[in-house]
Amino acid sequence: MKKLGIGFFLGFLIAGILCMLFDMTSWMGFIVDSLAFGAVFVYGSTGEILTEKAGHLNLGVPGIMCMGGAGGCYVINEAVKSGASPMMIVILGILGALVASMLCGLLYSFITVTLRGNQNVTGLALTIFGVGLSKVIMSLSTVSSELYLGANDGPKMFFRWPFDQPLTFTQLTRFGVMFFLAIAIAMAAGWVLFRTRVGLNLRAVGENPATADAAGINVTRYKYLATCIGSGISGLGGLYYIMDYMQSPEAYKTIEALGWMSVALVIFALWRPPLTIVGSAVFGILFSCSDFISHLEWIQTNMITKYLLQMLPYAVTILVLIITSIKGKKENQPPASLGLSYFREER
């Protein structure tokens, strides 16, 4: 799978260079757009991997992403009203998204870790709650979208730094600071999980909390921290999708499906955060290909093929699920105690 990842990465690089050389702007735009879209999944599934490595299957990720987006937008609205500088607006927005989604994560971990509630049901309840509350919050926002996105000298500049100046390849302006943040977070999460003592302890908690407890690891603290930090990362995905990728305050309505895809992508990435980058790029391509192909002149398409192509990401996820389960390699399996509550006195 690692080879596959490197292969995909090289493929992207070569494709990008070819596009630049032969000036195929539509293809370039397609690849850039897919990558930019994929960053939503990078956030969502990196956060979910951290949570799952602590043994908690958080099905509340769609709700958390909605809440992250709504919280960030709310803060940005307030910041715009109070006339903060563009850079402050972006920073405050990211902080707002972090706080809102971490609060959701805290709620989830309080119910599942401390109160030992059923994780599936808690997660679904959190999704219902988060999606609903985010809609309520977003309907309270009154600032128009042009105010903070349309103007070129607005905070959009900071979301799109450092490619905000039109270069030779104008498509590159799609990449902004939050896109690079997504990749940095995924790489950092991979490093922490597999190269540090903290990561080792966290994985131990997810595999067998009783053993980890006996070894002197504070299981509750690890579970809380992993869930909250993971939720915070997932929530950033919601903000990125609304403010950077879609640039439309209406975008919050479509986050839920992306949240579910992020949960599925965890399996695609085999619980390795860096691999989410590859998986997200593939998902991004699958999602945008129906639009792209219908614009190609040499392919005849109609509405039926469009819907068939839109089915593709979900169908591919199912295929990957089946293939990984058939291969059944030990290192590609979920953490052993995923979904189970831990109570020290239980035998």
Binding map of another protein across residues 284-303, x = CB under 8 A, - = no contact:
-------------------x
What is the Cα–Cα distance from 294 to 289, expressed in whole angstroms? 8
If the CB atoms of residues 17 and 311 are measured against another protein, the closer one turns out to be 311
Q: Which of 50, 80, 263, 270 binds another protein (CB under 8 A)?
A: 263
Do residues 233 and 104 touch, judged by C-beta distance below 8 A?
no
By CB under 8 A, is residue 100 in contact with another protein?
Answer: no
CA distance 135 to 67: 9
Name which position in 8, 27, 129, 180 contacts another protein (CB under 8 A): 129
Regarding 216 and contact with another protein (CB under 8 A), the answer is yes
The residue within the footprint of another protein, chosen from 267, 277, 278, 286 (CB under 8 A), is 267
Cβ-based nearer residue to another protein, 65 or 138: 138
The helix (H) or strand (E) run that includes residue 126 is helix 119-140
The answer to whether residue 9 forms part of the interface with another protein (CB under 8 A) is: no
- Considering only 76, 90, 102, 125, the residue that binds another protein (CB under 8 A) is 125
Token pair of 302 as six digits = 């109609």
| Binding residue (CB under 8 A) for another protein from 95, 296, 311, 336 | 311
Cα 193 to Cα 204, 223, 271, 333: the distances in Å are: 11, 14, 10, 16
Encoded one letter per residue, x for contact with another protein by CB under 8 A and - for no contact, window 46-65 reads -----------x-x------
For residues 176-215, which are near another protein according to CB under 8 A? none
- How far is 322 from 310, CA to CA, in rounded Å? 20
Angle at 65 between CA 199 and CA 331, to 5 degrees: 35
| Whether residue 335 has a cis bond before it, omega within 30° of 0 | no
When binding is defined by CB under 8 A, the residue of 68, 130, 209, 238 that contacts another protein is: 130
Among 140, 184, 214, 296, binds another protein (CB under 8 A): 140
Cα-based distances in Å from 321 to 325, 328, 333: 6, 11, 11
Long-range contacts of range 15-24, CB-CB < 8 Å, 24 or more positions apart? 20/169
Give the DSSP letter string of 259-295: HHHHHHHHHHTTT-HHHHHHHHHHHHHHHHHHHHHHH
Minimum Å gap between C-beta 327 and another protein is 9
Contacts of 117 (CB under 8 A, 6+ apart): 111, 341
Q: Which is nearer to another protein, 21 or 326 (CB)?
A: 326
Question: What residue ranges bind another protein (CB under 8 A)?
Answer: 57, 59, 107, 111, 114-118, 120-122, 124-133, 135-140, 216, 218, 257, 260, 263-264, 267, 303-304, 307-308, 310-311, 314-315, 317-318, 321-322, 325-326, 328, 334, 343, 345-346
